[in-house]
Amino acid sequence: MTARRPRGISASIKRVQAQLRQRQQRERQRNAHRLFQEATRLKRLPLYLFAILDDLKAQARAQGIDVIDLGMGNPDLPPPPHVITELHRRADDPVNHHYSRPDGVVERKLRDAIAAWYRRKFRVTLDPRTETLPLLGSKEGISHLTLAFLNHDDIALVPNPTYPVHFNGVVMAGGVLHNIPIHADQGYLPDLKAIRPEILRRAKMLFLSYPHNPTAAVANLKFFQDTVRWAKRHRIMVVHDFAYSDFVYEGAKAPSIMQVPGAKEIAVEFHTLSKSYCMPGWRFGFAVGNPDVLASLAKTKSYIDFGIFRLVQWGAIQALTGPQGHVTTVVKEYGRRRKLFVEGLQRIGWDIPMPKGTFYVWAKIPQKFSAFTSLEFATLLMQEAGVVAAPGTGFGEHGEGFVRFALVEPEARLKEAVTRIERVLRMES
Ligand SMILES: Cc1ncc(COP(=O)(O)O)c(C=O)c1O
């Protein structure tokens, strides 16, 4: 790498805090001198910590530090080869370069492929025309769903910490965000019964996502059964982000909320090809479930986008209907990385539970560094070890005290990361 020889903890915290303060000051000054001020809705959004990390990463690289980037959940493995072959094969047909239209050939085949995938994987039957909706990535769909449904006094219930789009979408849409803190001792599942009646009366949507980013927690079918019953009673829409549907280990299987009888009356579920099929740059995801909700999401999108590039749609059909061995290989690889990295950290004295799902490791900041915020500790890791981790507060205020590692580098690099992190953990007070 490599980073400097670690200094003492108290000297480091002063330095890191001063750097972050300077950065904030620069940002404030830049904003104060802008000719065009951003809309209030943008200003209300919490700080986007990944932007800060990107800056720090660039600085570290400029200093010659070999950065091991475990910050963003950007899969490093290649997509299935048959998907790439399909992309090449379809590229010469001019029709595939036209605007996408809902009644086109590929568009109809794609919805059929989504419904068939669901039938095969979860034994759930969906009407391809009304109960499936392709998206420009699940992030796009989730954020536009809030625009479609939230008025200014409508509440969205959002577990915290969570994938930032779940709360940022609500803020952007001008709805009212109600955080539900989730904790390790409850398996990071929200306690829905604890929500006050006056909040419930105004609540319109509940966001869920299991296997869970960032905590790596999983949910069982009973949890979804209880949630569906609860949501029907209170007439609340359940939005289940199922991005990590394949990422569970030791023979476990992650349930779909759609497996609960009657779930379609109140729920929609979001998927992506970004993770299981290693196709994050393709920008392809889809939603399934309640037809009225999907129709309103499609209506919102019709004012904003023009559908999905047809080559991407052909590739998505191949991914969903072709051989699935690649997905199994990918999940096995992340399973190996998870074991290697977590056992490595445990060996050097960082007490971290083995994650049950996703490809993230949610790590409580060691006691010795408790004076550091998660952003400060992530900065320290980057500067002293050249290892990028995401600060817990990037996932909401209840993520404070944690950092998240995304296992998106090969095993050798993860081993190297553990060696470098050990040096930080051994720093003198
Ligand atoms: C929980 C969750 N949902 C959705 C996404 C975004 O997926 P997509 O690439 O389909 O927008 C991510 C990406 O990290 C995620 O972690």
Q: From its phi and psi, is residue 36 left (phi > 0), alpha (psi between -120 and 50) or beta?
A: beta
Going by alpha carbons, the residue nearest to atom 5 of ligand 1 is: 139
Task: Give the torsion through C-alpha atoms of 45, 50, 55, 60, to 10 deg.
Answer: 160
The pLDDT value recorded for residue 298 is 98
DSSP codes of every residue in 323-382: --HHHHHHHHHHHHHHHHHHHHHHHTT---PPPSBSSEEEEEPPGGGTTS-HHHHHHHHH
The pLDDT value recorded for residue 54 is 86
Cβ–ligand 1 distance for 284 under 6 Å, the answer: no
The pLDDT value recorded for residue 7 is 67
Please report the atom of ligand 1 found closest to the CA of residue 209.
Answer: 1
Q: Rounded to a whole number, what is the distance in angstroms from the first to the last CA of the chain?
A: 24
Whole-model pTM: value is 0.95
Helix, strand, coil abundance in the chain, percent, nearest 5: 50, 15, 35
pLDDT tens-place values along the chain, 429 residues long: 554 555 688 887 888 888 888 888 888 888 888 889 889 888 888 777 777 788 888 888 888 899 999 999 999 999 999 999 999 999 999 999 999 999 999 999 999 999 999 999 999 999 999 999 999 999 999 999 999 999 999 999 999 999 999 999 999 999 999 999 999 999 999 999 999 999 999 999 999 999 999 999 999 999 999 999 999 999 999 999 999 999 999 989 999 999 999 999 999 999 999 999 999 999 999 999 999 999 999 999 999 999 999 999 999 999 999 999 999 999 999 999 999 999 999 999 999 999 999 999 999 999 999 999 999 999 999 989 999 999 999 999 999 999 999 999 999 999 999 999 999 999 887
The pLDDT value recorded for residue 8 is 83
The pLDDT value recorded for residue 4 is 53
Cα–Cα distance measured from residue 63 to residue 2, given in angstroms and rounded to the nearest whole number: 9
With beta carbons less than 8 A apart as the criterion, state whether 228 and 177 touch: no
Going by alpha carbons, the residue nearest to atom 6 of ligand 1 is: 139
Neighbours of 367 (CB within 10 A): 7
Q: How close is the Cα of 269 to the center of ligand 1, in Å?
A: 13
Q: From its phi and psi, is residue 401 left (phi > 0), alpha (psi between -120 and 50) or beta?
A: left
The pLDDT value recorded for residue 42 is 87
Cβ–ligand 1 distance for 245 under 6 Å, the answer: no
Neighbours of 330 (CB within 10 A): 22
Please report the atom of ligand 1 found closest to the CA of residue 284.
Answer: 10
Q: How close is the Cα of 213 to the center of ligand 1, in Å?
A: 9
Cα–Cα distance measured from residue 331 to residue 278, given in angstroms and rounded to the nearest whole number: 11
The pLDDT value recorded for residue 1 is 54
Q: How close is the Cα of 244 to the center of ligand 1, in Å?
A: 9
Tokens 């209030």 identify what position? 40
Please report the atom of ligand 1 found closest to the CA of residue 274.
Answer: 9
With beta carbons less than 8 A apart as the criterion, state whether 118 and 124 touch: yes
Q: Is CATH 3.30.450.20 the classification given to domain 81-321? A: no
With beta carbons less than 8 A apart as the criterion, state whether 57 and 69 touch: yes
Show me where the domains of the chain are located: 9-69+326-425, 81-321
Cβ–ligand 1 distance for 241 under 6 Å, the answer: yes
With beta carbons less than 8 A apart as the criterion, state whether 89 and 422 touch: no
Fold of the domain built from segment(s) 9-69+326-425:
Aspartate Aminotransferase, domain 1 (3.90.1150)
